[in-house]
């Protein structure tokens, strides 16, 4: 199976998705969305309940598979479990995409899914669909086009505003419950320009570089576990509901 084939003729919506995403993901937009959702006031739900809600969602930005999100989450978690990875990484596989619930609340998919990237600094050519950034109003803001943009060199990714979507949202949701390594993976697993292509190293500190190794490890489970054979959800549910209880309370704020 070929992965991240953005020319896949069976998924023509992927190009349309990135055209919209790169046009509208501006620094002001991302800051406003982060402020809007930071209160986590959309209600309380359990982790497995949200996993099941996502069963109706297919990611428009994913050229690899048309399986539901729940099936993808279980494939990712099971791949990590088969390799005897620590429980925190297995549960991260299960929850890493749960921020996509934003799409079920009416948010446009271009503001929920897709590769992520820093804002307030130059758009790197290594970002998928980088040609579409010419339509982004931030491209004409002079101070954003300096080498490090609005940031100091080696500022650390914790100080960088990333494009808004499910990664940033789930990072906020999971922050009270998971270790820092898991939270870093959740926040940056879609930051392919960095963990796959090596871009934006100038924004990172040594801690980021160390933690990015976990993202690279996780990538093999998130990406290369994909297949069009769905996992047996009913058979796996008892194991994962028990695992969830080890990290999360019965319900959490969303």
List Cα–Cα distances, 45 to 37, 52, 88, 108, 243, in angstroms. 16, 11, 20, 22, 16
pLDDT (0 to 100) of residue 9: 41
- Give mean pLDDT in consecutive 10-residue pieces for the chain, a chain of 254 residues: 43 81 98 98 97 82 69 95 98 97 95 97 98 98 96 98 98 98 98 98 98 98 74 96 98 98
pLDDT (0 to 100) of residue 60: 73
Alpha-carbon distance of 22 to 31, in angstroms, equals 16
* Residue 71 CB partners (closer than 8 Å, separation 6+): 55, 230, 231, 233
Domain boundaries, given as residue ranges, for the chain: 13-253
pLDDT (0 to 100) of residue 11: 43
Output b/e per residue, 98-112; b: 16+ Cβ within 10 A.
Answer: bbbbbbeeebebbbb
- pTM over cut 0.85: yes
Alpha-carbon distance of 129 to 102, in angstroms, equals 23
Residues in the chain: 254
């Amino acid at each position: 199976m070929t992965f991240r084939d953005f020319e896949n003729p069976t998924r023509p919506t992927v190009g349309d998705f990135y055209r919209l995403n790169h046009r509208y993901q501006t620094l002001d937009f991302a800051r406003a969305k982060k402020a809007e959702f930071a209160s986590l006031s959309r209600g309380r739900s359990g982790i497995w309940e949200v996993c099941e809600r996502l069963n109706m969602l297919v990611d428009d930005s994913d050229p690899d598979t048309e399986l539901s999100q729940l099936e993808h989450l279980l494939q990712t978690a099971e791949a990590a479990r088969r390799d005897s990875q620590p429980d925190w990484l297995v549960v991260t596989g299960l929850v890493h995409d749960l921020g996509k619930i934003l799409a079920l609340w009416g948010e446009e998919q271009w503001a929920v899914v897709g590769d992520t990237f820093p804002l307030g600094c130059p758009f790197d050519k290594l970002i998928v669909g980088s040609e579409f950034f010419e339509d982004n109003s931030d491209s004409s803001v002079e101070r954003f086009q300096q080498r490090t943009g609005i940031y100091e060199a080696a500022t650390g990714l914790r100080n960088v505003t990333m494009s808004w979507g499910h990664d940033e949202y789930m990072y906020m949701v999971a922050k009270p419950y998971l270790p820092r390594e898991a939270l870093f993976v959740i926040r940056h697993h879609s930051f392919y320009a960095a963990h796959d292509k090596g871009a934006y190293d100038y924004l990172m500190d040594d801690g980021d570089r160390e933690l990015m190794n976990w993202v690279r490890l996780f990538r093999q489970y998130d990406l290369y576990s994909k297949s069009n054979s769905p996992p047996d959800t009913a058979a796996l549910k008892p194991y994962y509901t028990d695992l969830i209880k080890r990290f999360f309370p019965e319900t959490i704020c969303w």
